[in-house]
Amino acid sequence: MKFIESIKRLKLSRLLIEAVLIFSSVYAAFLLEDKRSKRFERELLQQKLQSHLKIMQIDSITFESRLLGNINSKTNEGLKESIINHRKALDLLETQTNSGYRQVYDLHKSGKLLWRIIQGATKSQHQLDVTSENYDHLIIIDSTRHFIERYTYHTWVINQFVENSDQYIDDLSLFARENYFVFSQLENERDIIEYVSHPYYYNSIKSHLNTIEILLGMRQDFFEDFSSIKQGFVKELEQQEAHL
């Protein structure tokens, strides 16, 4: 009887040992797979952050060389001339004389008054939002989240004002086509004077000038934050590398 009980206890002990071993192997495999999964996620996060750094650099170059920079490019000279001509046009419109209206119209028709801003000057807003949302649990440095939010803010606001700036030009052109035969071979002096003397025209020029001037300020804010944001991304990448 005791012998049978001993055998039973032996079998039970064996079963318990086998269960522990099976559980341990399964758990170890789970931990290994979890570690591999997190490593894979971190590698993806690394790639995305590196990609954003490149895009940020392109954004910076775009502002400096094509949009609102200070270098002596044709684009920048055209924008500066446009701002001067906006102010000149407003002064002429305020004289409320036919000769003043005609001068403004000639400025407009020659392409020296309104200046189009490049659409989509910043590219990475949406991608950065997605990265932050999907990989937030892997971000190591707390300030990285702040830098992501700052850069997203800059890109959203600047793109919004860029869009608004061009919209003023489009709306003014639509107003001209729908109401007057200006900017065409059928234009006449009466239409020119009525078009340029209309309050909508004055308000559009003034609003466009205000938008460009605000955009210049935003460009300055962007560059003041850019270096610290870039350094923050680099530090995050270094920390990610240390965890791989």
- What Cα–Cα distance (Å) separates residue 214 from each residue in 161, 202, 208? 8, 19, 10
Beta carbons of 193 and 143 less than 8 angstroms apart: no
Tokens of 120: 């989509």
List the chain pLDDT tens, one digit each, 244 residues: 555 555 555 566 665 665 665 655 555 544 444 556 778 888 888 988 888 888 887 777 666 555 554 455 565 677 788 899 999 999 999 999 999 999 999 999 998 899 887 655 566 666 777 788 888 888 999 899 999 888 888 888 888 888 888 899 999 999 999 999 999 888 999 999 999 999 999 999 999 999 988 888 887 888 888 889 999 999 999 998 888 7
Where does the chain show beta strands of DSSP type E?
A: none
Tokens of 136: 């937030």
pTM over 0.85: no
- What Cα–Cα distance (Å) separates residue 201 from each residue in 34, 93, 132, 182, 233? 64, 9, 43, 13, 45
196: closest CA among 88, 112, 96, 81? 96
Q: Please enumerate in sequence order all residues whose Cβ is within 8 A of that of 15, keeping only pairs 6 or more positions apart, or say none.
A: none
